[in-house]
Structures are given as structure tokens and as C-alpha cells.
Structure 1
Amino acid sequence: MRILSIVLVAVSALFLSGCLKSTAGCTYKVNGTVASSSEEQAIVTYLTSNGLTATKHSSNMYYQILADGTGTASPSQCSAILINYSGKLTNGTVFDSQTSQVFTLGTLIEGWKVGIPLIKKGGQIRLFIPPSLGYGSQDIKDNSGNVVIPGNSILIFDITLTDFQ
């Protein structure tokens, strides 16, 4: 009977501790990757040939803030973000488009980690992401095995930050 009581207390303590919020803090971080000069030059060439102007980020990614958003706060790496987005390649091929998607910012590609905090709730941004801040040299395939994002692709995302917590 005593062993059963000890096991019951241990299981209860384990269960209840899983419901508590962690006090360890956010473990997601921007890794500080800086795209190579050749990747940056490829983005500059794309922008120039399409008559576009964009701001250079210290990571060598480029962006356009289409709408700042409202308020004073921006999402952190541990924020749950609610977004609408569309992603395309430099040849205009749209590889993904979603509305009302929820993600934890720190789990996403590096280009999103550095770009999305540049806007506030309701803000809109266009990101020109070099491969090293996106998916690198790996091909990204759909469920049928078809390549939807070739390795070493520049990614262009239009993102609206609907909300975050």
C-alpha cells in the first residue's frame, strides 16, 4: 500500500510539473548568419533588374516595409505569430501562400527571424532572403517528391503580421 502511495504521488508530481510554465526563458535565438557577398550581389542584381529599392539588413538580406503596423512592440523569437504570407522565387513562381497561420517565430528560417521583428502588429513586409538565410543548398520538395524550392534559391516573401503574443 505504501509503495502504491509513493508511486501515485510521484506520477501526480510529474503530471503537474508538466503543466507549469518554464522559468528558463526563451531558448530561440537569431543565429547571426550573414549571407556571402555573392548571395547579396545576386539579390542586388535581382532588385536592380526589376527596378526595386529595398533596405539592406546587416545579415545581407534585403527588405521593404510596406506598412509599419501599430503599437510599439514587435514580436520576439518566442512570440507566437499570426501571419498571412506568400512566398515566391525570383522567376515569379509562387511556392507557398497561406492565411491565418500561427508559428513560433524562433522556429522559422533565419530570414523570417530577422525580418518579421522589423514590423509591428498589422505591419506588412517584403523579404528578399538569400539562400543561407533560407533553405541553403537543399532542395525543398512537396509531399509527392517534386522540387518546389530548388537549392540555393533567393526567396521573396510578402508577410502580414496580423497579431502576436
Structure 2
Amino acid sequence: MKKVLLLGGMIIAVLAACSKKESTQENFDHVAQYDKDSVSITSYLKAKNITASHDPRGIFWNIIDSGDQKNKPNQNANVTVEYKGTFLNGTGFDSSKSVSFDLNRVIPGWTIGMQKIGKGGRIQLFIPSYYAYMQYGQGSVPPNTPLVFDVKLINLQVK
């Protein structure tokens, strides 16, 4: 009987937490946050004298080396990359010398941005929080934080 009550209490707590999260998400103004992030990214690019392109979905990028244009990833590709992630203030929060993953299993900013270069290419991605960790944050990344990644595409396997 105690197990049933405990389980029932846990289910109610989970449902209440989900309800609060959905309510917070519904009340969150993604457009206003995207506008704020775009201003921050544009200011960053200007201060660093970086000429970047802008995707209609909201990603900014600077291709340093386009790589092999005949060997580009799609959104389902498995990629091996070397990267460094920083905040707009230059503070690093993540990096790897060689890591592999499916592009459809990472933040949308990576999924969109990495399809712009080919094997051996290098790109800088400037990602608004909406295409990263949104209003939730993740690990050392605070909520509503635009991110900068310098990424080299070492290898890929198109699926």
C-alpha cells in the first residue's frame, strides 16, 4: 500500500512539474529573446570585425574554409568534429579535439550550420539561444544565452 501511495505521489509531482514547465514555455516570448540575441550577436560581429552570413531561420555563420563541397553533411549525417564553444564575452564553456555525433541529435544551430561546409571545412557559428538551449540553459550555459562555436569538420558519414 505504501508503494502505491509513494508511486501515486511521484506521478502527481511529475505532472505538476510538467504543467509548470509548459506554462512557463507558453508565457516565454521567443521572438523578443531572438531579437535581443540578434542585437547581441550583431554587436559582437561588428566589434570583432567579422563578416557573417545570416540564415532566414536565425543562425549567423562565417565560413573560414568551405571544405570539400562534394562531401557535405545532411541533417542526419554522423559527423566527427573538432570544436570550441564560447559565450559572446569570450569565456569558453566547451571544446573537443575529436568527437562524433549525429547532427540530428544536437542543438538546432549545429544541425543547420554544419550543413554549410564540406569535409575538411571550418566554420564559425553564432547561435541565438532559441537554436541552442533556449530559456532552459544546459550545464554551464545559462538560460537565454547566444553561443559561438568554431568548428572544423574532420569527417562525416551521410545517412
Whether the 8 Å CA contact 1:40–1:61 is kept in 2: the answer is: no
- Closer, same or farther in 2 for the Cα pair 1:71/1:48, shift >3 Å? closer
The TM-score normalised by the length of structure 1 is 0.72
Letter in 2 for 1:159: V
Larger radius of gyration: 1
Q: Which runs of 5+ in 1 are unaligned?
A: 1-32, 142-147
Distance 1:151 1:106 in 2: 22
Identity over aligned pairs, percent? 33
Quote the offset at 1:85 in angstroms.
Answer: 0.6
1:94-119 CA-partner distances (Å, limit 9, x unpaired): 10110210100111101001100000
Matching of residues 21-100 of structure 1 within 5 Å: 36-100=34-98
Cα RMSD of the aligned pairs, angstroms, is: 1.8
Does structure 2 conserve the Cα–Cα contact (< 8 Å) formed by 1:77 and 1:113? yes
Aligned-residue offset at 1:42: 1.8
The answer for unaligned runs of 5 or more in structure 2 is 1-29
More helix by share: 2
Q: Return the letter of the residue paired with 1:79.
A: A
Alpha-carbon distance in structure 2 between the residues aligned to 1:79 and 1:97: 20
| SS at structure 2 position matched to 1:159 | strand
| CA distance in 1: counterparts of 2:121 and 2:50, whole angstroms | 20
- Letter of the aligned partner of 1:140 in structure 2? Q
